[in-house]
């Protein structure tokens, strides 16, 4: 799904304060008045570069959403709108000599926070930094996803440096999802592709912040206190658009402890929170009305279990199938998200979610409900025998012990696994819970998702309307570059369907292709969807403009418009 501070002393939870301000940012470094503290409930980031595993976290996305510019932004209703402050007009889509061509007209007032103009060079570098994971093709193995970018043949300046012409080798239907988090070429580019890869791989370690505190949006990362787990955003002094209306937006990591969140809201030390909802938390926050407002939504995020196919046990598809059949996912929903939302239900698709019109239940009948007997039959077919304790063992692979890793300090996920453990035990699988602090770290941490030293992992994918973006999750690994395919399994048929999906503009046909892909993913059984996750936003009633965006855009998507009464 991620700051030494300019405030007095070590950064603690800061109260909201100040009055309203209807003025525009307009290059004024002070911005508006007052400050808001956002309580970040997910893990504090170790790296702020979003396109590598170490920076692929919700906390990083929350920091960067209004720091690095993007061509388009997903709206709360799942539609997308072009960035009308970055561009002078809506980007054009044309066909020239049989090729798809996109043209972007950059606002001549658009500059980076150091005064350097934002130009076609930044778009060209962003493409080049994300187009390949193969060093032989001047790519970089650390890149998380090349989806869409690998279909581009060139990114060039048009009539001037404010005109960007993007030409595709192959048409790409989800082109509006590209050029998210546009990169500052003048601070990152080099003539040698290997040097660029070195820069990408190192990323932006959290203690160092962004290079030269660079920003191309309304907010700028001005201070980082990794020890206190605080990031301070202040108005970008060179911002040419409207806002921000606050002097500071402070991101304070609070973890997912309900007591901390509720006490912070009650005392006014926290202005906005966006935790994973839990029954006690939701009830306690709702009791703070009318001083606190809150809302539950269902967005484009879903909880799932990834099974590592390089594990000796889970490399066997029969074991993966048995694992899935042992689960009672209806009970998992009832004991977790069903506790605070009657709309929660089992998810039987990874490409489309329950609330999307394209959703189709593609799950085979044998995994729609718990099937312990069949799970045991599959394990015995795979050569396992039950011991006196009821748990299976294999003559070569040893005891069938499966550790399920998840994020730290997350009661909802801990409960999920605690419900799963006795279910799996019924089928003779000895499962255990492990809060892994390195789960989202880079490959240098062997037990991370990217490092591959895990067996099973429970976490969430935060989605967007661009369905082809899931290709990096389920497409076949390319050598050392697994992108986001942490199960490390591939299928040529799935790859071919994704290639077709990427070029298909018709939504009905996209729905068909996506559901075909998901049916094949059930055959792999390397990832098991559990439920579409609800979002829960709560904030002081004195803060105006807060609106949940239950997509990857997140709660800070319009934070430059926030004001305090």
- Domain of 156, CATH number, reads 3.90.76.10
Please report whether residue 21 resides in a domain: no
**Whether 63 and 73 share a structural domain:** no
Q: What is the DSSP letter of 170?
A: S
Please report whether residue 360 resides in a domain: yes
**Whether 343 and 412 share a structural domain:** yes
Q: How many CA atoms lie within 13 A of 253 on its CB side?
A: 21
Please report whether residue 197 resides in a domain: no
Look up residue 334 and give its two tokens.
């009832």
Please report whether residue 431 resides in a domain: yes
CATH number reported for the structural domain that contains residue 285 in this entry: 3.40.190.10
**Whether 467 and 478 share a structural domain:** yes
pLDDT tens per residue, range 340-373: 899 999 999 999 999 999 999 999 999 999 999 9
Query: What's the Cα-to-Cα distance from 531 to each of 332, 432, 458, 467, 502, rounded to whole Å?
Result: 9, 21, 12, 18, 26
**Whether 439 and 514 share a structural domain:** yes
Give the DSSP H or E segment for 105: strand 99-105
**Whether 87 and 113 share a structural domain:** yes
Query: Cβ distance 258 to 411 under 8 Å?
Result: yes
Q: How far apart are CA 544 and CA 349, in angstroms?
A: 37
pLDDT tens per residue, range 482-524: 999 999 999 999 999 999 999 999 999 999 999 999 999 999 9
pLDDT tens per residue, range 63-100: 999 999 999 999 999 999 999 999 999 999 999 888 99
pLDDT tens per residue, range 171-188: 999 999 999 999 999 999
Q: How far apart are CA 315 and CA 473, in angstroms?
A: 18
Q: Judging by DSSP bridges, how do beta strands 543-544 and 563-564 pair with one another?
A: antiparallel
**Whether 231 and 363 share a structural domain:** no
Least confident residue range of 31-35, 211-215, 312-316: 31-35
Please report whether residue 24 resides in a domain: no
The pLDDT-based confidence of 478 (bands split at 50, 70, 90) is: confident
E strands present in 274-400: 292-307, 385-386, 392-394, 398-399
Residue 32 predicted with pLDDT over 80: no
Q: How far apart are CA 505 and CA 496, in angstroms?
A: 16
The pLDDT-based confidence of 14 (bands split at 50, 70, 90) is: very low
**Whether 511 and 379 share a structural domain:** yes
Please report whether residue 58 resides in a domain: yes
Q: How far apart are CA 440 and CA 406, in angstroms?
A: 10
Please report whether residue 3 resides in a domain: no
Q: How far apart are CA 209 and CA 220, in angstroms?
A: 10
Q: How far apart are CA 236 and CA 112, in angstroms?
A: 9
Backbone angles phi, psi at 559, to 5 degrees: -65, -20
Q: How far apart are CA 210 and CA 201, in angstroms?
A: 14
Q: Is 433 exposed, middle or buried (0-12, 13-18, 19+ CB in 10 A)?
A: middle
Domain that holds residue 264: 30-67+217-291+541-564
The pLDDT-based confidence of 28 (bands split at 50, 70, 90) is: very low
**Whether 78 and 148 share a structural domain:** yes
Query: Cβ distance 533 to 299 under 8 Å?
Result: yes
**Whether 251 and 375 share a structural domain:** no
> pTM of the entire structure?
0.85
Neighbours of 455 (CB within 10 A): 21
Which residue would you say has higher pLDDT here, 443 or 32? 443
Question: How many contiguous H segments (helices) and E segments (strands) does the chain have?
Answer: 13, 21
Q: How far apart are CA 252 and CA 2, in angstroms?
A: 10
Q: How far apart are CA 10 and CA 225, in angstroms?
A: 8
Our CA angle for 204, 209, 214, nearest 5°, is: 95
Query: Cβ distance 562 to 84 under 8 Å?
Result: no
Which residue would you say has higher pLDDT here, 17 or 104? 104
**Whether 183 and 247 share a structural domain:** no
Residue 380 predicted with pLDDT over 70: yes
Please report whether residue 25 resides in a domain: no
Q: How far apart are CA 37 and CA 28, in angstroms?
A: 21
Looking at the structure of the chain, the number of domains it has is 3
The pLDDT-based confidence of 31 (bands split at 50, 70, 90) is: low
Neighbours of 371 (CB within 10 A): 21
Cα-Cα-Cα-Cα dihedral sign, residues 130, 132, 137, 141 = positive
**Whether 253 and 172 share a structural domain:** no
The pLDDT-based confidence of 442 (bands split at 50, 70, 90) is: confident
Nearest to 193 by CA among 237, 107, 263, 130: 130
Mean per-residue pLDDT of the chain: 92
**Whether 268 and 188 share a structural domain:** no
CATH number reported for the structural domain that contains residue 479 in this entry: 3.10.105.10
pLDDT tens per residue, range 203-256: 999 999 999 999 999 999 999 999 999 999 999 999 999 999 999 999 999 998
């Amino acid at each position: 799904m991620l700051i030494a501070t300019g405030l007095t002393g070590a950064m603690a939870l800061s109260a909201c304060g100040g009055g309203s301000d209807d003025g525009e940012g307009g290059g004024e470094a002070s911005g508006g008045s007052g400050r808001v503290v956002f309580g970040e409930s997910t893990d504090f980031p170790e790296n702020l570069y979003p396109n590598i595993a170490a920076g692929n976290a919700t906390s990083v996305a929350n920091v960067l959403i209004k720091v690095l510019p993007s061509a388009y932004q997903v709206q709360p209703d799942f539609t997308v709108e072009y960035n009308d402050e970055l561009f002078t007009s809506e980007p054009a889509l044309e066909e020239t000599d049989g090729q798809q061509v996109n043209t972007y007209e950059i606002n001549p007032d658009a500059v980076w926070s150091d005064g350097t103009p934002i130009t076609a060079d930044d778009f060209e570098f962003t493409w080049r930094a994300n187009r390949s994971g193969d060093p032989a093709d001047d790519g970089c193995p650390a890149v998380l996803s090349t989806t869409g970018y690998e279909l581009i043949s060139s990114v060039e300046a048009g009539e001037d440096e404010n005109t960007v012409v993007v030409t595709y080798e192959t048409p790409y239907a989800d082109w509006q999802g590209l050029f998210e988090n546009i990169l500052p070429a003048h601070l990152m580019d080099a003539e040698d592709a290997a040097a660029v890869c070195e820069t990408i791989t190192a990323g932006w370690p959290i203690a160092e912040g962004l290079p030269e505190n660079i920003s191309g949006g309304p907010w700028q990362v001005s201070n980082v206190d990794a020890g206190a787990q605080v990031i301070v955003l202040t108005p970008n002094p060179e911002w040419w658009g409207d806002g921000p209306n606050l002097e500071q937006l402070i991101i304070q990591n609070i973890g997912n402890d309900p007591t901390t969140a509720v006490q912070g809201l009650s005392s006014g030390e926290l202005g906005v929170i966006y935790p994973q909802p839990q029954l006690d938390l939701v009830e306690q926050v709702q009791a703070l009305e009318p001083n606190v407002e809150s809302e539950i939504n269902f967005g484009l995020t879903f909880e799932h279990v990834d099974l590592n196919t390089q594990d000796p046990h889970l490399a066997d598809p029969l074991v993966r199938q048995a694992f899935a059949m042992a689960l009672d996912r209806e009970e998992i929903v009832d004991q977790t998200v069903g506790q605070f939302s009657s709309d929660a239900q089992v998810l039987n698709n990874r490409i489309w979610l329950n609330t999307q019109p394209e959703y189709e239940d593609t799950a085979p009948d044998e995994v729609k409900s718990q099937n312990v007997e069949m799970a045991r039959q599959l394990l015995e077919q795979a050569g396992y025998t039950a011991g006196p304790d009821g748990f299976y063992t294999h003559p070569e692979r040893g005891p069938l012990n499966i550790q399920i890793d998840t994020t730290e300090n997350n009661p909802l996920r801990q409960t999920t696994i605690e419900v799963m453990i006795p279910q799996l035990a019924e089928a003779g699988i000895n499962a255990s819970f492990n809060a892994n602090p390195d789960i989202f770290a880079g490959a240098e941490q062997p037990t991370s998702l990217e490092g591959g030293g895990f067996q099973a992992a429970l976490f969430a994918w935060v989605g967007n309307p661009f369905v082809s973006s899931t290709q990096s999750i389920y497409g076949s690994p390319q050598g050392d570059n697994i992108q986001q395919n942490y199960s490390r399994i591939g299928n040529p048929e799935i790859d071919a369907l994704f290639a077709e999906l990427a070029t298909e503009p018709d939504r009905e046909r996209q729905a068909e292709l996506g559901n075909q892909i998901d049916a094949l993913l059930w055959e792999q059984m390397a990832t098991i969807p559990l439920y579409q996750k609800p979002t829960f936003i709560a904030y002081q009633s004195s803060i105006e403009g807060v609106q949940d965006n239950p997509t990857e855009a997140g709660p800070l998507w319009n934070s430059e418009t926030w004001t305090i009464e």
